[in-house]
Amino acid sequence: MTEELEQAGQAEPAEQVEQAEQAVERVDPQAQPLPVRNENFRWYILHAYSGFERKVRESIQSRVEAFGLKDRVGRVMIPTEQVTEIVNGKKRTTERVFLPGYVLVEMELDNNLWHVLKDTPKVTGFLGTGDKPVALSEEEVSGILFRSETAKDKPRLKIKFEKNEQVRITDGPFANFNGVVDEINEDRETLKVMVTIFGRSTPVEMEFGKVEKIE
């Protein structure tokens, strides 16, 4: 496939390439119209530098516009989820990339488009073997998109507790009580905290968001 791609790249006039590259800088990715749907679209993964996923997405959208390839590219997605942090006893929800270095592109891939996307700044290549990108299966795509959508409805709590750690309860009938973490349930996002009540150690189940670490 490499030879075919190189021939395709050489056949394109150098002047046209230069004009297209210059046009990339003038395109506002936020002003992109909705992409044209194509029944031949498949999902592919581009490897990007970790931490530059959003920049890569903007660059891809700009290059697709500049090279006149909007009919061959659909959605460009970064797998993200909502994460809730506890800062000074208050909840703060932020968006976190849960597959660092991955950018999903829905498209009808051909040699020309392969070159345009692979040459995007901060992109290291396609997911696949050698020069043969591999399209994701419907199950793989559904799993990623489902996680992104459900995370919007129920943000994950970005906080780590350890057994025997000292904590303070911040809400509920035991607010302002100090205790010791006895059990941690990551799936339910709850803790069993041993609290001293009337001189006796009593287990109390608390949600992560209603407990804070004692510094």
Task: Identify the three-state secondary structure at position 214.
Answer: coil
Q: CATH class for domain 2-157?
A: alpha beta
pTM of the model: 0.55
pLDDT bin (cut points 50, 70, 90) of residue 18 is low
What is the pLDDT averaged over residues 124-135? 83
pLDDT score recorded for residue 53: 93
pLDDT band at residue 1 using 50, 70 and 90 as cut-offs: low
CA distance 174 to 164: 19
Q: What is the mean pLDDT of residues 17-39?
A: 50
Q: Judge whether residue 64 has pLDDT over 80.
A: yes
Domain 166-213 grouped into CATH 3.30.200.20: no
Query: Which amino acid belongs to residue 153?
Result: D
Q: Name the residue with tokens 């407990």.
A: 211
**Burial track 92-122 (b if 16+ CB lie within 10 A, e otherwise):** eeeeebbbebbbbbbbebeebbbbbbeebeb
- Whether residue 14 is predicted with pLDDT greater than 90 in this model: the reply is no
Q: What is the DSSP string of 174-199?
A: TTT-EEEEEEEETTTTEEEEEEEETT
150 vs 135, residue with greater confidence: 135
Domain boundaries, the chain: 2-157, 166-213
